[in-house]
Structure formats: C-alpha cells, structure tokens
Amino acid sequence: MLKNTFSMYKIFITRHIPDAGPKALKEKGYQVDIYQKDDVIARKELLKRVKGCDALLSLLTDKIDEEVLKAAGPKLKIIANYAVGFDNVDLAAAKKYGVTVTNTPAPEVSETVAEHAMALLFALAHRIVESDHLTRQGKYHGWNPNLLLGTDVTGKTLGVIGTGRIGMNLVRRLNEGFGIRTLYSDVKRNKELEKISNAKFVTLNELLMRSDFVSIHAPLLPSTHHLISTKQFRLMKKTAYLINTSRGSIVDSHALVQALKTKRIAGAALDVFEGEPAFALRRQDSTYLQHAWSVILTPHTASATIEARQAMSKLAADNIIAVLSGKPPLTPAK
C-alpha cells in the first residue's frame, strides 16, 4: 500500500542529469518524467510538462516564476533546483504558493568549484592558455628569458568576495599550500575562516585596492548585481587579476572590457557571463573578450566533474524525497 502511495507522486526533471538522482527517485517508486532533449526546455513545453507534478527538479537555465507555479497546480510541493545558486527561481512566488525551494550545495561541489577557481588563478598567473596556443601554432622558437613572463602566486594577496563553502575552500587551499595572504569581504565576519587561515575581514574597497587576485564567490542578489563595475575596477591594482566562478551579472561586463582594454587590470578569468550562453555585450565587447589573451573563458564548467554533478543529482533527489515524505528539506534555498 505504501509503495502505491509513493507511485502516485509525479516528478518532472527538466533535463537529463547524472543518474544518481533519477535512480533514487525511481527506487522510491515515484513516477519520474525526464525531458529527453539535451537542451534547455522551451517555455511552452515546461508549462505543459509541469502540470500536475508533485515535485519539479529544475536547472539554473530554467526560469521558475509564478507562471510556472500556476501551471503546475496545487499538487506541487517542492522545486529542487539542480544548482548551488537559485536566482532563476522566484522565491517570493514559491512562498506564496506554499512550495519549498531547495538547492544543491553538496560538499563535492564546493571542493570542485574551489579547485576550478584555483586552476583559473594559476592559469592567469602563468599565462598557461597563451603559452599553449603559442606552442601549438609553431611559434615557439627556443628558450627565451623574456618569453611570456607571468607572475608568482606564492606570497601574493588574494581577495575573496563571499566566503561561503566555496570561498572558504579556496582560501584554505591557497593558504596551506602557498602561504598566500587573504583579505575577504562579506556581509559579516567569518570567524571560522579566520581560525583556519590568515584571512582578514576588510571592506570591499580595501580588498580591491590591496589584492593581487580577486575571486568572486557571492550569490547573485539585487545587492550584488554589478557589484564590480567601473568604480571598483579603478580601485584595483593594474597588475591585479579578476576571477569569477559565481554569477555573471555580479560583474558589469562592459566595465570589465573597458578595464581590460585600457589595462586598468592585468587580466580576468570567467566561468560565468551575463546573458549566458551568449555574452550580453555590444558586439565589439564580445569580440574582445573572446580574443584577448588577458582573458580566460570557461563555459560554466566550474562544477563539471563526475563526482560533483552526481552529488548534486543525489542531493536534489534527497530533498524531493524528504519533502514528499513530510520531512524538512535537507538544503532549503535561503
């Protein structure tokens, strides 16, 4: 009888994700419907497929607003967002309809994104992408003491904006391994971070003025939209690098391009962009970003490891199972 009750629950997943989550849901006896095309689901299709669902497992590429909630109907109990961020979900509308929203800040994700941010930092400092291109193009003609000079990381100052799990993991790794000095800016002091590292709590302006590398790990909120723009770039060292693995709109992309063009900063590494997958930029700015050697671009793959993506899938499913079983969600979005 219990199994039959479970089988009445309908789950809609908006795109194929690693199998740990769907497998757990099917083993529970739920009816699991997965959008089969390996692409962002069309709005019209989303509104049709979500009807009558008890749970929606959405991706960060899905805009989940009041229209979707209305289309789903009164049975919808949970939106399990397959992402750490949840700016694609209208939390106020979900609250209005009594729908729980969760995200997937699995430990594996925090470790993986921190690793990616660190990889970008080193790639910038040692000009890895540019060096690879020069070598592949047959332009390496022998050792040269002035060829592609970069900068050391050891002993430099790292500025971290946002010190949640990802920011903390990045600081811990760089502090333990390379003795890097750390400044951090957040809405409040992170005493746990200070205990495990030499991190110092400062204002955003001081962080920007003193850091050799600035790494963004803040959520996208109205207060963080274009947090880094022309004024902030003017505060940075001309030798400084910007790294963003958080959300694209935290950085004013046009201001970034201007800062790079005028050599206001030394370079940038971006895993996220405004208006993904395209650049929400004027044509000349977009062209510049894609061709400038002072810029490294990765296609929102900071969490793209087998371990992290499977953990996200399982956590999304576990949140659904908890809520449909009448228990509190494991990781509510807040």
SS3 readout for 295-311: EEECCCCCCCCHHHHHH
Burial class (CB in 10 A: 0-12, 13-18, 19+), 128: middle
Amino acid identity of residue 267, one-letter, is G
Mutual orientation of helices 107-125 and 128-136 as an angle, nearest 10°?
A: 60
**Residue 189 and residue 54 in contact, taking contact as beta carbons nearer than 8 Å:** no
CA distance 85 to 150: 33
pLDDT, average across residues 169-189: 94
281 Cβ contact partners less than 8 Å away, ≥ 6 residues apart: 253, 254, 257, 274, 275, 289
- Name the fold adopted by 2-103+307-324: Rossmann fold (3.40.50)
CATH number for the segment(s) 108-297: 3.40.50.720
Q: How confident is the model at residue 263 (pLDDT cuts 50, 70, 90)?
A: very high
pLDDT, tens only, 6-44: 668 999 999 999 999 999 999 999 999 999 998 999 999
pLDDT, tens only, 307-317: 999 999 999 99
Helix (H) or strand (E) holding 314: helix 306-324
Q: Residue 6: what pLDDT?
A: 61
Amino acid identity of residue 113, one-letter, is V
- Quick count: other Cβ atoms within 10 Å of Cβ 235? 17
Query: Which residues in the chain are classed under CATH 3.40.50.720?
Result: 2-103+307-324, 108-297
Q: Residue 58: what pLDDT?
A: 98
Place of tokens 């991190």: 199
Place of tokens 């050599």: 263
Catalytic residues: 247, 276, 300
Residue 134 is encoded by which pair of tokens? 């020069």
